[in-house]
């Protein structure tokens, strides 16, 4: 029964209205969330355009980053949730896109261009991995790059490898790329003759080695790459020695010459096993022309006829004195 104020069981109509209102609000929120979840999870198709600035370290003579960031337009398919993210990207800062030099092409001056085929490799980076690009909305996109001072220099590997006894590294060590572009202020570039890697170290090595190593870089310069690949053959060797007379070549007919000393000991490091005489066809000599340009008659001893099996050689002396007398 209700009392004279309309209360039933001690509760007024106002209490029921508040409870009903709260329940109604909750029901509406749940319905809206469910509607959004169902609709935003479905695949939708939209046109979007995202600003993209490209970055490439391999454009000789140009800065790495483009000065402009044109919009890359495309018709995309994705869930509603993903498409909301794409829309936010289209209104935000440009996407910084690292690209390969094979995906951008020189036009003229400071202008380079890219086509839809070039951008096809970077769809995930631009629009997201959950987005499918059905078609691009352009034929060509043009980028501009500022000129930058640069210099092409060779790469030298700092190779600090200790081999096992009777093993050695076959020189030279191969490096890829063997030269790179270095960018920077002319005052910093003028003294750069080569770029050296960080040390490649090893001990008790008895087999060929390969890998990647970082360049020893300067904070004042930019490099077309900061990593290079190297590989080196490590082989077993034997060492043999023999004494050779020092020949004189190019001596005029009216001159009589001889050398002091008249012979030299030649030591060879040869690939193991040695299947034939490693000294066959080998000779040691000095050139009379070197005598003419020398100050004291000391001339370098030169070795000829070394076979492919020879890894390196060493002479017990690198110079021989040439004594010249007139013929009577």
Q: pLDDT by residue (tens digit) across 22-77?
A: 666 665 656 555 455 545 455 667 788 889 999 998 888 888 899 999 999 988 88
- 150-232 folds as RNA Polymerase Alpha Subunit; Chain A, domain 2 (2.170.120)
3-state helix, strand, coil in the chain (%, to 5): 20, 45, 35
- pLDDT at position 102: 92
User: Has residue 91 got a pLDDT over 90?
Assistant: no
Answer for the pair 142, 160: CB distance below 8 angstroms, yes or no: no
Residue 148: the pLDDT is 87
pLDDT at 38: 46
Is the predicted pLDDT of residue 14 greater than 80, yes or no?
Answer: no
Q: Please provide the average confidence, as pLDDT, over all residues in the chain.
A: 86
User: What average pLDDT does range 14-20 have in this prediction?
Assistant: 58
Counted residue by residue, the chain has a size of 328
Q: Is CATH 2.170.120.30 what the domain over 237-326 is classified as, yes or no?
A: yes
> Hey, how many other C-beta atoms are within 10 angstroms of the C-beta on 95?
17
| CA distances for 136 relative to 39, 113, 132, 294, angstroms | 26, 15, 11, 72
Q: The whole model's pTM is what?
A: 0.62
Mean pLDDT (whole number) for 153-159:
94
- The token duo for 33 is 């969330």
Residue 151 tokens, joined: 């210099």
Half-sphere exposure (Cβ direction) of 58: Cα atoms closer than 13 Å:
11
Strands 310-315 and 263-271: antiparallel
Residue closest to 78 by CA, chosen among 70, 86, 88: 86
Give the per-residue pLDDT at 316. Answer: 95
Please report the pLDDT score of residue 286 as a whole number. Answer: 96
| Whether pLDDT at 231 is above 70 | yes
Question: CA dihedral defined by 11, 15, 17, 19, rounded to 10 degrees?
Answer: -120
Q: Rounded to an integer, what distance in angstroms lies between the CA atom of residue 274 and that of residue 272?
A: 5
Higher pLDDT, 175 or 91: 175
Q: Is the dihedral of CA 285, 288, 290, 291 positive or negative?
A: positive
Residue 22 CA: distances (Å) to CA of 11, 35, 75: 17, 20, 43
For the chain, give every residue range classified as CATH 2.170.120.40.
150-232
- Whether 176 shows a pLDDT value over 70: the answer reads yes
Task: Convert the pLDDT of each residue in 234-292 to its tens digit.
Answer: 999 999 999 999 999 999 888 889 999 999 999 999 999 988 999 999 999 999 999 99
For residue 231, give the DSSP letter: E
- What is the reported pLDDT for 328? 58
The reply to whether omega before 72 is within 30° of 0 (cis) is no
pLDDT score, position 46: 78
Q: Which long-range contacts (CB under 8 A, 24 or more apart) does 274-277 make?
A: 274/238, 274/240, 274/309
* CATH 2.170.120.30 location in the chain: 237-326
Range with the poorest average pLDDT among 21-25, 313-317, 324-328: 21-25
Instruction: Return the pLDDT at 10.
Output: 52
How confident is the model at residue 40, as a pLDDT? 45
**Is omega for the bond preceding 50 within 30 degrees of 0, making it cis?**
no
Residue 78 — φ and ψ, nearest 5°?
Answer: -170, 170
Contact in structure between 142 and 53 (CB atoms under 8 Å): no
pLDDT tier, 21 (very low <50, low <70, confident <90, very high otherwise): low
Q: What is the pLDDT at residue 115?
A: 96
């Amino acid at each position: 029964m209700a009392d004279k104020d309309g209360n039933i069981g001690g509760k007024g109509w106002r209490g029921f209205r508040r409870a009903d209102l709260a329940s109604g609000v909750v029901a509406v929120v749940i319905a809206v969330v469910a509607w959004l979840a169902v609709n935003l999870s479905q695949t939708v198709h939209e046109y979007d355009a995202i600003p993209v600035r490209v970055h490439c370290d391999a454009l000789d003579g140009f800065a790495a980053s483009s000065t402009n960031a044109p919009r890359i337009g495309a018709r995309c398919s994705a869930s509603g949730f993903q498409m909301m993210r794409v829309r936010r990207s289209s209104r935000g800062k440009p996407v910084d896109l690292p690209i390969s030099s094979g995906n951008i092409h020189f036009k003229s001056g400071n202008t380079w261009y890219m086509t839809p085929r070039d951008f096809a490799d970077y769809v995930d980076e631009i629009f997201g991995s959950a987005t499918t690009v059905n078609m691009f909305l352009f034929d060509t996109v043009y980028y501009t790059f500022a000129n930058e001072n640069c210099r092409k220099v060779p790469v030298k590997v700092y190779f600090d490898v200790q081999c096992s006894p009777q093993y050695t590294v076959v020189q030279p060590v191969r490096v890829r790329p063997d030269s790179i572009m270095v960018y920077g202020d002319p005052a910093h570039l003028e003294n750069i003759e080569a770029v050296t890697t960080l040390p490649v170290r090893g001990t008790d090595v008895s087999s060929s080695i390969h890998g990647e190593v970082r360049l020893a870089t300067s904070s004042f310069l930019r490099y077309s790459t900061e990593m290079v690949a190297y590989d080196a053959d490590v082989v077993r060797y034997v060492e043999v020695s023999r004494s050779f007379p020092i020949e004189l070549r190019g001596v005029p007919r009216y001159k009589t010459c001889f050398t002091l000393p008249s012979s030299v000991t030649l030591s060879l490091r040869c690939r193991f096993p040695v299947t034939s005489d490693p000294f066959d066809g080998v000779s040691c000599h000095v050139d009379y022309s070197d005598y003419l340009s020398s100050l004291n008659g000391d001339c370098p001893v030169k070795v000829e006829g070394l076979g492919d099996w020879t890894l390196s050689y060493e002479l017990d002396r690198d110079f021989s004195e040439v004594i010249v007398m007139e013929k009577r």
